[in-house]
Structure 1
């Protein structure tokens, strides 16, 4: 009964997740709609390939065409094209080797024992990439067919694979070709918002002087996760750039700026933000660490640094607005950013002048805050762009 209960709960959970996916896809653009669109395109490509190869031409192994069409409706048009060429090369290699040995030996069992190790080894060729395994698939198409091995039948297998590949690539390229610009912008926005939230939370804690080891540890954990969000944004930029290659839809997309210098510059700034935020939160955490490795800083330092953190959070918010403005460039937001960064520099200068007088008895603390101060200056310089 317990196993049945777990199975029922798992089925319900997965069913609810599927319903949620359908609902999100229906409500508006997003990852769920993209996934459903790709699934529908793969089904369409298979149907078209079968309609021609199986229904119209009545090819003896017509399933090869829809199979090739399905697997080549990939996540990007460039990947469909590149993998399609590699896959066809691998299938051709396997087909040729199997046909040659099959004609010579005239024994499918012995031929298979010799062919499969050979084509699997050939499939490791670097130029075939991840599609090298299809060399064995091409060989099996030849050796497991019901009729005798002939050059004409093998040529038909290759032709069916070529036709299916053409259909799959064409459907992926011309029927709502995938573009991941929205995912990239979303990833950058998530990292930016999280950086602002962390800095504001730490600033509130420093300003009031009310924080403990657990809360400081939570801030530091969030700062470390911010670094992972930046890595996710970097990966999303890579996907976006690939999705724009040989993509007719990408050339017509104007809703979001292409992942060029704008996104690359934003990623550099977010790297600085993540490093600086992790350093700040670690310092704050160590001040309340029960091991006693650092002394609790004075109220003067914490309040000054809280002011700096708030200015940093505001500058990051304005930077995001200037980089991803709907019109491409917002002059008023750019002016506001320059003013915010100027105020940030003035805050840092005041903090630098204050630091030697309050940290004279603790050289280690002076070094720590001096390092953070240098990081903060580099961050402020990065927030202003031409």
Structure 2
């Protein structure tokens, strides 16, 4: 009974997630629709390859064509072509080696013992990349399919070539994938998370309700921000790769690959992630310090929270300037310019406040100096860009 309830709960959760994903794929563009389209294209490539090679031409090894076709409907056109060439090379190597040794030794069992270690070593060849394992697959197809002959081995390679051509053609000609939505979303997510972290720290400092636990949570989020930036960098790379050999990048209505604005945004977000982690680390160390004198007082935390709040706003406006309009009467560039001015004013206020706030104590001086240094580094990057 307990097991039945558990299984029902699992099915309900996963079934609900599947239904929601299907609804999103139907209603709007996004990752779910892209995955659905790619799955449909892979099925179509396999069907076309089998219909031509197996049904129409009655090829002796027709199963090889749809098998190769389905695995070559890759996430980008460039990757389909590159991996297709590598896979064909691996299959050809395995097939040729297995055929030659089998004809020489005239014993399937002995041939398999000799050939498989050799082709598995060949599979590690760097030029074959991740497709090297198909050398062993090609050898096994030769050795486990009855009588070995040059004709059957040649047919197997020809059908692999045909399947690769079908898979690459389907991926390149039918809605070739692009990943600009993913790229923009990844960059916006990183900028939004940075903004929310700085707003949370600013609010905590302004209220005076921050301790080692809260500061530790802020720092954990700041460390995760670095991983979000890495994901955004990977997404930019995917977007650029998805336009290589993609006809959607040419002609009327073509979509341009990510340009310098994306690179600039990555550089800014990299610095923001590093220095946000520095700010939260300094706050966390101050919160856990046993010496109350080293802990910043209201005369420092007030101006510092203002600075962080202005920084958060500048980051949000920077994201809007690079990736989306605000839809307001003031342009995003103008709003960002004003936010940077406010950021500079709040930083100047920190510089004026610090000398009078620091007591004659090396620990207090170190804490306040670290906060100011991190503030300066964070502001410099936003002001420069």
Do they superpose with TM above 0.5?
A: yes
Cα offset, 1:203, TM superposition: 1.3
2:318–2:336 contact (8 Å) kept in structure 1: yes
SS in 2 for 1:246: coil
Residue range with higher mean Cα deviation, 31-40 or 360-369: 360-369
Residue 326 of structure 1 and its aligned partner are, at CA, apart by 5.5
1:100-125: CA deviation from partner (whole Å, max 9, x where unpaired): 12222222222222221121111211
C-alpha distance in 2 between matches for 1:96 and 1:134: 13
* C-alpha contact (below 8 Å) 1:123/1:133 kept by paired residues: yes
| 1:242 equivalent in alignment to 2:241 | yes
In structure 2, relative to structure 1, the CA distance for the partners of 1:321 and 1:384 (3 Å cut) is farther
Structure 2 partner of 1:278: 277
Offset of 1:48 from its aligned partner?
Answer: 0.5
Please report the RMSD computed on the Cα atoms of aligned residues, expressed in angstroms.
2.3
> Aligned partners of 1:75, 1:51: CA distance in 2, in Å?
24
Counterpart mapping for 1:332-343 below 5 A: 332-343=331-342
- TM-superposed CA distance for 1:68, in Å, is 0.0
TM-score (norm 2): 0.92
Contact 2:307 2:343 in 1 (8 A): yes
The 1:356/1:253 distance shift into structure 2, 3 A limit, reads farther
Secondary structure of the equivalent of 1:61? coil
Alignment of 1:107 onto 2:107: yes
Change (3 A) 1:357 1:293: closer
Q: Which runs of 5+ in 1 are unaligned?
A: none
Please state whether the residue corresponding to 1:383 is helix, strand or coil.
Answer: helix
Instruction: For 2:87 and 2:137, locate their aligned partners in 1 and report how far apart those are by CA, in whole Å.
Output: 10
Structure 1 residue 306 displacement after superposition: 0.9
After superposition, where does 1:144-293 map in structure 2 within 5 Å? 144-146=144-146, 148-251=147-250, 258-289=257-288, 291-292=290-291
Indicate the residue corresponding to 2:307 in structure 1: 308
After superposition, give the CA deviation of every residue in 1:260-309 in whole Å (9 maximum; x if it has no partner): 32111111111121122222222223333264487332211111001111
- Contact kept, 8 Å, 1:356 with 1:366, in 2: the verdict is no
Q: By how many angstroms is 1:179 displaced?
A: 0.9
Cross-structure match for 2:56 = 56
The answer on 1:125 being equivalent to 2:115 is: no
CA contact (8 A) 2:325 2:332 kept: no
Cα distance in 2 for partners of 1:279, 1:37 equals 43
Moved more, 210-219 or 46-55: 210-219
Look up the SS of the partner of 2:133 in the other structure. helix
Q: Corresponding residue for 1:95?
A: 95
1:256, distance to aligned residue in structure 2 (A): 7.1
Alpha-carbon distance between aligned partners in 2 of 1:253 and 1:74, rounded to the nearest angstrom:
25
CA distance in 2, matches of 1:282, 1:247: 45
Deviates more, 1:10-19 or 1:148-157: 10-19
Contact 1:53 1:62 in 2 (8 A): yes
1:329-384 Cα shifts (integer Å, max 9, x gaps): x9932233223212212221221122011113233333343344333333333224
Could you say which residue in structure 2 is the equivalent of 1:134?
Answer: 134
Are the aligned partners of 1:198 and 1:222 in contact in 2 as well (CA < 8 Å)? yes
Question: For 1:58-97, what aligned pairs fall within 5 Å after superposition?
Answer: 58-97=58-97
Give the direction of change, closer, same or farther, for the CA distance of 1:294–1:2 in structure 2 (3 Å limit).
farther
SS in structure 2 of the partner of residue 124 of structure 1: coil
Kindly state the Cα deviation for residue 126 of structure 1 after the two structures are TM-superposed. 1.0
Rounded Cα–Cα distance in structure 2 between residues aligned with 1:212 and 1:154:
71
